[in-house]
Amino acid sequence: MSHDEADQGDRLDISDQRREHEPAESETVYRGRVWDVQRDVVPLGDGPDAEFVVREYISHPGAVAIIGLDADDRVLLVQQYRHPVRSYLWEAPAGLLDVEDEHPLVAAKRELLEEAHQVAGTWHVLYDVYNSPGSSSEALRCYLARDLRPAPGDPYAGSGEERDMPQAWVPLDDLVARCLRGDLHNPHTITGVLATYAARASGWSMLRPPDAPWPERFPD
């Protein structure tokens, strides 16, 4: 590799850019209980020579996840059955943005309360991600919640997969090792644990405020 090639990354803007190719045709081919499947005919490029491709994807409302950290640097996990992969997964609390006009931070606080019966003293944005950008429109924002404490009152009575979810408090360093060993498989949990580990190493200086813009989910 030449010196010029090695320095190419320094000259490029290595940040994702939102640029929508307006579909020439679009239809909902399946309407589900939680999300739909969309089929678009999309021009890749501009002008008369643009190539048209057909893409099918899950139309997703978006989601939030929460890495909850206590004073002893332990991360809060809940265990939930995930039928598509036939597995009980240890996960960070998370949930859909399926309440109309609900701010993502409000949704995150609600999910932390409902799934773990916890409230947090401080909140920051940890990372934003597209969970599976080749097949889903899902945008997920993960928050770092610290100074956790039990919520007052009775725990939320969940149903279905959210009923009787076991909880565990696991040291952050141990979770990093478990992620790298392949013990955990939930994507927002693995990404959140590694991001928290990196953020702690920086003295938390790179964290964004909890109301930071999220143009990938709320472009306006």
In a domain, 196, yes or no: yes
In a domain, 3, yes or no: no
By the 8 A CB rule, do 104 and 133 touch?
no
48 and 69 part of one domain: no
The domain of 43 spans 22-59
Q: Which residue stretches of 1-67 are H helix?
A: 3-6, 8-11
Helical H segments across the chain, by residue range: 3-6, 8-11, 104-116, 172-181, 187-201
Q: What is the pTM of this model?
A: 0.90
Does one domain contain both 185 and 139?
yes
Same domain, 46 and 105: no
Task: Determine, yes or no, domain membership for 11.
Answer: no
**Residue 73 half-sphere exposure toward CB, CA atoms < 13 A:** 13
- Angle between helix 172-181 and helix 187-201 axes, rounded to 10 deg: 130
Q: How many separate domains does the chain show?
A: 2
Q: Give a yes or no: residue 42 inside a domain.
A: yes
d(CA 167, CA 147): 17
- The pLDDT profile of the chain, 220 residues, written as one tens digit per residue, is 555 555 555 678 888 888 888 899 999 999 998 899 999 999 987 777 889 999 999 999 999 999 999 999 999 999 999 999 999 999 999 999 999 889 999 999 999 999 999 999 999 999 999 999 999 999 999 999 999 999 998 777 666 666 678 999 999 999 999 999 999 999 999 999 999 999 999 999 999 999 999 998 888 6
